[in-house]
Amino acid sequence: MKTRREEQLKAFERLLDVMDELREKCPWDKKQTNESLRANTIEETYELCEAITNNDDVNIKKELGDLLLHIVFYAKIGNEKGVFDIGDVCNALCDKLIFRHPHVFGDAIANSAGQVEKSWEEIKLKEKGGNKTVLGGVPNALPALVKAYRIQDKARNVGFDWENREDVWDKVKEELCEFETEVKYGDADKIEAEFGDLIFSLINAGRLYKINPENALERTNQKFTHRFNYIEKRLTEMGKSFKESSLEEMDSLWNEAKESF
């Protein structure tokens, strides 16, 4: 009887065989390139994130499969170019994980997640072909909110952070004051710059209080959407449109929606 690990390896081998067949025989798959797949990869990543946010195990499994297909697809293209294959991808990943975890695969000692994080950036800077600077590993293509959190987190890993998290609120208030000042003067460019500083300081505050700003904002997006949809549904039931409704009516319905979400 096969072990579960043997079944897993067989399943991965089957995926590679299916990818070979698709690349050889399917007109659509044959014409794909790294560039043509990129947008779909981003979409699949967000669909996985949505399933994770919804704690939907069925769709997490499905979306992981879709994302794995893209990984195998890129590796297949790399193999055709003669630059790398899926084995190279896996081995490079294993080498990196082993190098970055000397407390598991070497003699270093780390008894807590905090100790691991403290040495993480130093290890990455020593890595062959790795980041040359602390912030060098933050992709430019990341959405601005996620990028800000990653920038701040990497700075924290090398000790550039608030000594007391409560002190961050003085910075938030300072940035809010500067933003309000620029609003009074009306210079659009300076208003935007100060608004960016304000958001950055709030993301910093969230990080210090163990709040992921992306997750927090998405929760608010879902909450707002649910409540706004409730207003729209109730207005439809009343035979009215938004244009035919007063702000007071919509506020009243909003308060109704708050009771359920």
| pLDDT, position 179 | 97
- Between the alpha carbon of residue 257 and those of residues 136, 216, 235, 248, the distances in Å are 45, 20, 13, 14
* Burial bucket for residue 121 (CB in 10 Å: 0-12, 13-18, 19+): buried
State the number of CA atoms in the 13 A half-sphere of 79 facing the CB.
Answer: 15
The gap from C-alpha 178 to its chain's centroid, in whole angstroms, comes to 30
> What kind and span of H or E run contains 59?
helix 57-81
The gap from C-alpha 79 to its chain's centroid, in whole angstroms, comes to 28
33 phi, psi to nearest 5 deg: -130, 170
Q: How many CB atoms lie within 10 A of CB 209?
A: 10
Per-residue model confidence as pLDDT tens digits over 26-81: 999 999 999 999 989 989 998 998 899 889 999 999 999 999 999 999 999 999 99
Residue type, 64: L
Q: What is the pTM of this model?
A: 0.66
Q: What's the distance, Cα to Cα, between the start and end of the chain in Å?
A: 50
CATH code of domain 4-100? 1.10.287.1080
| pLDDT, position 110 | 79
> Do 122 and 158 contact (CB within 8 A), yes or no?
yes
**50 Cβ neighbours under 8 A, 6+ residues apart:** 59
* Structure letter (DSSP) for residue 62: H
> Do 145 and 213 contact (CB within 8 A), yes or no?
yes
Say which residue the tokens 């790294």 belong to.
34
**256 Cβ neighbours under 8 A, 6+ residues apart:** 230, 234
CA distance 28 to 39: 16
> Do 158 and 123 contact (CB within 8 A), yes or no?
no
> Do 176 and 202 contact (CB within 8 A), yes or no?
no
Under-50 pLDDT residues of the chain: none
> Do 22 and 76 contact (CB within 8 A), yes or no?
no
> Do 261 and 226 contact (CB within 8 A), yes or no?
yes
